[in-house]
Amino acid sequence: MLNKIIKIRELIKSILSKRNYLILFVCSSALLFLVFYILTLASVTNQSLGIFIMMNGFWYTIATFFLLALIAMLFGVYAVLLTYIIRLKLRHKKKASKSYGIFGGAGFLVGLFSAGCPMCGAFLFGLFGAPLALFFMPFKGLELRMLALILLGISVYMIGRSLIKCRTSL
């Protein structure tokens, strides 16, 4: 297992060394983090980070934005790998698996739902009629962020494993 993870890490490094994939990674990560930032501060804080810190505390704010940045970067890696494997499979006329797409999509959605002010409910939870959902979470939504990281991590692992198998079969 550890050997596969090391191979996947090396594969990601080699893919990101190509300029177009690096640009895709940076743009998708930055755009998703911007969306997370806006959704996190959209509720009652009137887009003020200072008010968010006053409402939730300094360390919670640091943990929130650190986890959201990790989710955004992991999603950027996911987007790069997905683009790479789709291009590779189209080039060699092979059918793409959908299992890693399910985990990545689930991680993305959980990440969106985890962005929000824990005191007033997440913006997206409000759209679905459950604005107080974050009130009942013991860690004020940090558990959703961890779930998003786990799901995106599984997806990146599955795509990487598929790419390693694909490279050895070509």
Q: What is the pLDDT of residues 118-133, one digit of tens each?
A: 444 455 555 555 555 5
Q: Which of 18-27, 67-76, 109-118 has maximum average pLDDT?
A: 18-27
Confidence at 139, pLDDT banded by 50, 70, 90: low
Q: Flag the least confident range among 13-17, 75-79, 86-90, 136-140.
A: 136-140
In whole angstroms, give the CA distance from residue 1 to residue 155: 15
3-state DSSP helix/strand/coil % of the chain, to nearest 5: 80, 0, 20
Residue 15 has pLDDT above 60, yes or no: yes
Strands, E, within 86-133: which ranges? none
Confidence at 165, pLDDT banded by 50, 70, 90: confident
In whole angstroms, give the CA distance from residue 46 to residue 26: 27
Alpha-carbon radius of gyration of the chain? 18
State which residues form the domain around 101. Answer: 2-169
**Total structural domains within the chain:** 1
The interaxial angle of helices 99-114 and 58-91, nearest 10 deg, is: 160
